[in-house]
Structure 1
Amino acid sequence: MPAHSPSLRSDHHKVLIVGAGAAGIAVASSLIRRDPSLDIALVDPADTHYYQPGWTMVGAGVFSPASTAKPMAAALPKGVRWIKARVEQFDPNAQTVTLDDTSVLSYEQLILCPGLKLDWQAIEGLSDTLGRNGVTSNYRYDLAPYTWQLVQNLREGRAVFSQPPMPIKCAGAPQKALYLSCDHWLRSGRLGNIQAQFFNAGAVLFGVADYVPALMKYIDKYAVDLQYNHRLVAVDGPARQATFVRTLPDGSSETRVQPFEMLHVVPPQVAPDFIRSSPFADAAGWVDVDPATLRHRQFANVHGLGDVINTSNAKTAAAARKQAPVVANNVLVALGRLPRLAQYDGYGSCPLTVERGKIVLAEFTYGGKLAPSFPRWLLDGRRPTRLAWLLKAQILPPLYWRCMLKGREWLAKPQTLVEVGQ
């Protein structure tokens, strides 16, 4: 059997990982690099692994769709068994996982990183019109090229961009689509005939205040109609109408129907169903972990990372890149193979593509504390720079495929705490 073919079921594994997205493959690789003898199995039904941060660039005609996808078998690290199946339920007391074919796996250590669920069905009429009638989203591989098609073809009218309530995957992505679209229309002399509107369910443009002034300059530059406290609830594609519910200062709400020629939708996002119904979930459905060690608060042999956990950091690939070595270290501590726990500081990064060729590089830890990776004289993330664009367009993709997914922890080595038991 080829090394990366889906594995035959094996009853028991020392470490069982649920989810083969950025977090799952990164933590598997970090574990294998630390202990090549470790028995690791990874459960995921997908045939393809995606570099999701690249979809913003696909939607702006910068990246090709194919550059953001690889066969799952090619992305997985050697030495890890791939079980191509869906998880149905967990029994943490018996330390078992039941799969969709009713087979049961047992584990000594469990790592949960299945990502989150894009809840397209939560917006009435949306699923019926996605990919046509001017309705698109960079949050799907097959739709990001349609975004670029719409941007190129739009000559006049209203271009509406939505952002749902938090938490969402990459909080800056909804406005990245806005900025790159507006930049194209500005460069092609069409922006004067196009009214761009940004309907944000939240009350602020970006959650870390230090980056807002630079972003507001682009809101003004592109003459964007910026609306806060507006939540998209329904889409009528054939009629080209979007319905929003606006929350008023007194707590009441009103409905607003907005016509559009183009609509870029970001759907509400929740934990996967099998996580929300599991003993590992908190009241909101996310995996309940300690924010520093990423160990489950109730079950000591369970860890979580990536978009599925309930920590307050930004849900980005950059966060998963920093979390993976922490979880790898702490799982090996739990197995008695390493002496010191590691901790995660909440690091997240969001390269805000404000125009083609310039990026505001937001980097921060828990509490919105700035955490730049480079000296300010070299790259000041609070203002748009070409160097940050170079980082996003040329450096981060190979860093993802060749370092993060291979367990090479450049700028991601974890901080360790005192030895266990001291």
Structure 2
Amino acid sequence: MKLSTIVKAKEHYNLLVLGAGAGGLAVSSHFSRTLPKGNVGVIEPSSVHYYQPGFTLVGGGIFPKSHFTRKEETLMPSNVTWIKDKVGKILPEKQVVETFDGKEISYNFLVIATGVQLRYDLIEGLEDGLAMKDNKVISTYSPETVEKVYNAFQNFEKGKAVFTFPNAPIKCPGAPQKICYLFDDYLRKTNKRKNAEIIYNTILPRIFGIERYSNVLTEYAKSKDIHVNYRTSLSKVDPITRVATFDILNETMQPTGEIKKIDYDLLHVGPPCSPVEGLRNTAKNNDGLTDKIGFVDVDKNTLQSKQYKNIFGIGDCTNFPSPKTAAAVSSHFKTIKYNLQKVMDGGNVEPLYDGYTSCPLVLSSNKCILAEFNYDGPIETTPFNQSKPSRLAFIGKAYGFPMLYWDYLLKGRWSGPSTIRKILHLGMSK
């Protein structure tokens, strides 16, 4: 690992945080209380902050988008300096970040929390389909498209509905099937289900990555007459003829050369995701901060850069091997607030992050499976069987988790459920 020699720029911070999503705000909120005023800078271009895990519920018609929307200025810690700009490139050898507007900002310590970029442009014809007014191509992932989803549900009368999971990194990997289940639930409540064929196409060899939950979800989809195609990747959309083209993949997720075309009356797309442009630019430097794609290359247990001791990554922008979810960020935060402080004090980091993440798998407007797991497999917080669909899990998804997010995580006061888990499991190491 390298510790660079700083090049003092015109604007300098002891701690510079890139991004003010879940991870960025948690880190900046915490360190704004432990460091003197003016020591923390945050680069974030957006004026609006969304609770993105709630977008599935918006698409399902359960809440309006406004319910999960806040102004960024109401969330930004008062003791930090907010730089309203985008990251253009990181120069870790100089300890400088270049912004899109041409600023050079230097730092002693850096936390990268830029999230990912939705890449609808990587699938031919998809952007055109999403822009069409017929609302036949939809996606819950973007704030620009999520409100169209429930409208499309309401307008659907009969035909074939196709839901897709991409052959690329994706945030909240459970979301493409959650909205599929909510669509099925909506059709049943409106007596339209008999007129519909529902297809879920995923690039995975099974419906969900963790076997405990995959087994339950496979049976659930079967019971709802949802046809699942595995190792099937969306490659092209023709919004005029309403035909979606899929590549059939082999065991290494590579195209076999075989394609499958499916005509659709409704197409929901889980988009490919990539690092943001600033990290893709940084990857061209080949300085070891990111991998070849642009994800921050961190130790999977310490979340510290493998090359630079004074840099950490949190959330979706990193290449840690667990699914990219908001729940993972809380445990990332627990690890980073400890390890970053240790580095600031001249100490060594510890391997605290065990890969914890969670995915509340919504099955209907009142039932949910609360999947929790780490690098080793399922690690559930409650002593009950969380692979069983429950109303309580749905209440947590719809009401409890948003409260934890807004009132605790973003304020740097929620570090995940590990302590609660130990209490509920009578102190056992779970």
TM-score when normalising by structure 2: 0.89
1:251, 1:294 → 2: CA distance?
33
Q: How does 1:229-378 map to 2 (within 5 A)?
A: 229-247=231-249, 252-278=256-282, 279=287, 280-336=289-345, 341=350, 343-367=352-376, 369-376=377-384
Distance 1:37 1:375, change over 3 A: farther
Q: How much has 1:221 moved relative to structure 2? A: 2.1
Q: How much has 1:199 moved relative to structure 2? A: 0.9
The residue that corresponds to 2:227 in the other structure is 225
The residue that corresponds to 2:411 in the other structure is 406
SS in 1 for 2:363: strand
Alignment deviations for residues 164-222 of structure 1 (CA, whole Å, 9 cap, x no partner)? 02431011010001001101111222111100001112211100000012212221122
The residue that corresponds to 1:202 in the other structure is 204
The answer as to whether partners of 2:51 and 2:69 remain within 8 angstroms in 1 is yes
Q: How much has 1:22 moved relative to structure 2? A: 1.1
Amino acid at match of 2:407: R
Higher mean C-alpha deviation, range 9-18 or range 217-226: 9-18
Identity of aligned pairs, percent? Answer: 34
Amino acid at match of 1:325: K
Alignment deviations for residues 313-362 of structure 1 (CA, whole Å, 9 cap, x no partner)? 11000001111121122111111188874611111000000111010110
The answer as to whether partners of 2:208 and 2:214 remain within 8 angstroms in 1 is yes
1:411, 1:244 → 2: CA distance?
38
Distance 1:177 1:344, change over 3 A: same
SS in 2 for 1:231: strand
Distance 1:337 1:299, change over 3 A: closer
Distance 1:46 1:387, change over 3 A: same
The answer as to whether partners of 2:98 and 2:104 remain within 8 angstroms in 1 is yes
Q: How does 1:116-155 map to 2 (within 5 A)?
A: 116-132=116-132, 133=134, 134-155=136-157
Q: How much has 1:410 moved relative to structure 2? A: 5.7
Higher mean C-alpha deviation, range 293-302 or range 280-289: 280-289
Q: How much has 1:131 moved relative to structure 2? A: 4.5
1:230, 1:251 → 2: CA distance?
9
The residue that corresponds to 2:68 in the other structure is 68
The answer as to whether partners of 1:17 and 1:24 remain within 8 angstroms in 2 is yes
Q: Which of 390, 394, 401 in structure 2 is aligned with 1:396?
A: 401
Q: How much has 1:36 moved relative to structure 2? A: 5.7
1:403, 1:251 → 2: CA distance?
44
1:221, 1:355 → 2: CA distance?
13
2:275, 2:103 → 1: CA distance?
23
1:402, 1:74 → 2: CA distance?
12
1:228, 1:285 → 2: CA distance?
28
1:122, 1:399 → 2: CA distance?
34
1:10, 1:78 → 2: CA distance?
22
The size of the alignment, in residue pairs, is 402
The answer as to whether partners of 1:215 and 1:354 remain within 8 angstroms in 2 is no
2:324, 2:124 → 1: CA distance?
25
The residue that corresponds to 1:88 in the other structure is 88
1:300, 1:357 → 2: CA distance?
46
SS in 1 for 2:381: coil
Amino acid at match of 1:77: P
Amino acid at match of 1:374: T
1:87, 1:37 → 2: CA distance?
23
Distance 1:166 1:372, change over 3 A: farther
Q: How much has 1:228 moved relative to structure 2? A: 0.9
2:345, 2:38 → 1: CA distance?
12
2:32, 2:181 → 1: CA distance?
40
SS in 2 for 1:217: helix
The residue that corresponds to 2:389 in the other structure is 384
Q: Please, which runs of 5 or more residues in structure 1 have no aligned partner?
A: 1-8, 415-422
The answer as to whether partners of 2:248 and 2:255 remain within 8 angstroms in 1 is no
Q: How much has 1:141 moved relative to structure 2? A: 1.2
The residue that corresponds to 1:6 in the other structure is none
RMSD: 2.0
Amino acid at match of 2:268: H
Alignment deviations for residues 255-294 of structure 1 (CA, whole Å, 9 cap, x no partner)? 2221111110111111123213323111343110011111
The answer as to whether partners of 2:13 and 2:38 remain within 8 angstroms in 1 is no
1:166, 1:215 → 2: CA distance?
22
2:393, 2:418 → 1: CA distance?
22
The answer as to whether partners of 2:333 and 2:415 remain within 8 angstroms in 1 is no
2:185, 2:291 → 1: CA distance?
41
The answer as to whether partners of 1:214 and 1:360 remain within 8 angstroms in 2 is no
1:269, 1:106 → 2: CA distance?
29
Amino acid at match of 1:147: V
